[in-house]
Amino acid sequence: MIGVQQMERRDALARFVVDTYPYYQHLRGTVVTFSELPIIDKHTINDQRAAFELPGVEKVYESFTSGSTGIPFRCIKTPEEQTKLTVAIYKQRRKWGLPLRYQMLLLSNRFYAEPQMLAHYANKIQTMKPQMIQGRLSQLHELARYMTEQQISLPPEVLFLQNWGEPMQPAQQQFVEERFGIPVVDYYGIEEIWCIAFSNRQGQLEVVEELVDLEVVDPATGRVLPDGEFGELLVTSHVLRSLPYVRYRTGDIAKLQRDAETGKLIVQLLPVRYSQIELPGKTSQVAIFRYLDRFFYEMHQKKGVRQFQIVQETHTSFRLRIVGRNLSEVYEMERNLQKLLTQYLGVDVQLVIEEVEAILPHPVTGKYQSFVSQIREEVDRWQR
């Protein structure tokens, strides 16, 4: 459900983009509402770049992303847009005590590249005494493990740790928070538009509504789904005009719900992207999202599971790789999981559980992946 104010804000934006950008010019002269605007993605913008860029904008900061989709994309932001976004992100961090003048230590994607990186960062934390440390949760977990082993304590200046680019795994979060004695907060965003949501004190991922508007749609049909249903997340930026992102596909699977007490919009993400799921003969995959939600929920409830990864080996066979201790409860649920999977997919599936020492992150992005499809890798290899 969206309120009248939100609907007016959306429709005003719809009129603005139709009047301003050539891409939407076919809609001029008609009464256009927000929900009638086409859904766009990286391909749409890459194919018609000039029809999206605001004329007369001279100075822009640019960055490049290929993200999880592998499609190269040039992101632009004017200095004014960048300032608005930076201040909005700061405001989220301020809720966790960050002063206006602060030092942040950013853990690089090369964190796992060399064994001495852990010692390097542990040392840097001691000398730099940052107010916050930002990294993938799996990196923060490794750091917490290493510093505990080496009996190195975190300086009192560090107020919180911030995860980004990786799904939060409750077991890892709990481990890090217990070792360091400070909260791990979550940031959800994409390079194109930066921050979308940030952790609140209730442990929810709260949408930063001053920056963005979100919708959840059935990825196959584009139909807007009601609150509480999983589907693909579309984002609309209320800040970026140099390149408008309106009803822009994130590729992420999520559900939205307004908190009954606070009225804040909460987003809950699945640790898997839409493009990663390969199913035989399926046109709508909304049902599989519900299954995956249940699956991830079950996994997160298992205290012995420190980390896990689902590998889809063929259309109907899956391997569940697990790191942890006391995994007997996982084996107990093996049959249930297989039954559930079969029920949702409508075909017989095989599920193998494999205990592993560690699950390594992606070598380039440094991100740990909860779901890997080898079918997609096979297709990509043939297409190259």
Partner 1 sequence: MSRMANGEPVTEQQLAAQIIQLLSEICQREVEGIEMEHTLIDDLGIDSIQFLELYAQLEETFRFELDMDDLQPERLHSVLSLVQFVQERMAS
Taking the complex as a whole, how short is the minimal distance between the CB of residue 204 and partner 1, in angstroms?
18
Taking the complex as a whole, how short is the minimal distance between the CB of residue 209 and partner 1, in angstroms?
13
Taking the complex as a whole, how short is the minimal distance between the CB of residue 85 and partner 1, in angstroms?
8
290 lies in the binding site for partner 1 (CB under 8 A): no
201 lies in the binding site for partner 1 (CB under 8 A): no
Taking the complex as a whole, how short is the minimal distance between the CB of residue 98 and partner 1, in angstroms?
10
Taking the complex as a whole, how short is the minimal distance between the CB of residue 100 and partner 1, in angstroms?
4
Minimum CB distance to partner 1 smaller for 87 or for 347: 87
85 lies in the binding site for partner 1 (CB under 8 A): yes
∠ Cα 375 376 381 (to 5°): 100
Minimum CB distance to partner 1 smaller for 51 or for 87: 87
62 lies in the binding site for partner 1 (CB under 8 A): no
Q: How far apart are CA 111 and CA 134, in angstroms?
A: 12
Q: Which stretch binds partner 1 (CB under 8 A): 87-95, 116-124, 323-331, 357-365?
A: 87-95
Which residues, at least 6 apart from 76, have a Cβ–Cβ distance to it below 8 Å?
Answer: 53, 60, 61, 62, 242, 243
Taking the complex as a whole, how short is the minimal distance between the CB of residue 357 and partner 1, in angstroms?
41
Q: How far apart are CA 165 and CA 136, in angstroms?
A: 6
**Residues touching partner 1: how many (CB under 8 A)?**
14
Q: How far apart are CA 135 and CA 105, in angstroms?
A: 9
100 lies in the binding site for partner 1 (CB under 8 A): yes
Minimum CB distance to partner 1 smaller for 90 or for 331: 90
191 lies in the binding site for partner 1 (CB under 8 A): no
101 lies in the binding site for partner 1 (CB under 8 A): yes
Minimum CB distance to partner 1 smaller for 57 or for 356: 57
Q: Which single residue is written with the structure tokens 């609309």? A: 236
9 lies in the binding site for partner 1 (CB under 8 A): no
19 lies in the binding site for partner 1 (CB under 8 A): no
87 lies in the binding site for partner 1 (CB under 8 A): yes
CA neighbor of 318 nearest in space, from 300, 297, 291: 291
CA distances from 36 to 222, 232, 292 (A): 11, 17, 30
262 lies in the binding site for partner 1 (CB under 8 A): no
Q: How far apart are CA 214 and CA 237, in angstroms?
A: 9
Give the amino acid at 301: Q
**Token couple for 174:** 């709990």
Minimum CB distance to partner 1 smaller for 82 or for 316: 82
Taking the complex as a whole, how short is the minimal distance between the CB of residue 108 and partner 1, in angstroms?
20
Taking the complex as a whole, how short is the minimal distance between the CB of residue 42 and partner 1, in angstroms?
25
Categorise residue 97: left if φ over 0, alpha if ψ from -120 to 50, beta otherwise. left
Minimum CB distance to partner 1 smaller for 173 or for 237: 237
Q: Which stretch binds partner 1 (CB under 8 A): 37-45, 80-88, 223-231, 353-361?
A: 80-88
82 lies in the binding site for partner 1 (CB under 8 A): yes
Q: Which stretch binds partner 1 (CB under 8 A): 2-10, 77-85, 217-225, 300-308?
A: 77-85
Q: Which of 26, 43, 94, 110 binds partner 1 (CB under 8 A)?
A: 94
CA neighbor of 45 nearest in space, from 81, 91, 76: 76
Q: How far apart are CA 102 and CA 89, in angstroms?
A: 13
Taking the complex as a whole, how short is the minimal distance between the CB of residue 132 and partner 1, in angstroms?
13
79 lies in the binding site for partner 1 (CB under 8 A): yes
> What one-character-per-residue DSSP string does 178-239 give?
HHHSS-EEEEEEETTTEEEEEE-TTS-EEE-TTTEEEEEE-TTT-PBPPTT--EEEEEEESS
Q: Which of 9, 15, 74, 91 binds partner 1 (CB under 8 A)?
A: 91
Q: How far apart are CA 375 and CA 167, in angstroms?
A: 22
**Token couple for 185:** 């907060």
Q: How far apart are CA 153 and CA 126, in angstroms?
A: 9
CB 79 within 8 A of CB 61: yes
CB 372 within 8 A of CB 312: yes
Taking the complex as a whole, how short is the minimal distance between the CB of residue 79 and partner 1, in angstroms?
5
Contact residues for partner 1, defined by CB under 8 A: 79-80, 82-87, 90-91, 94, 99-101
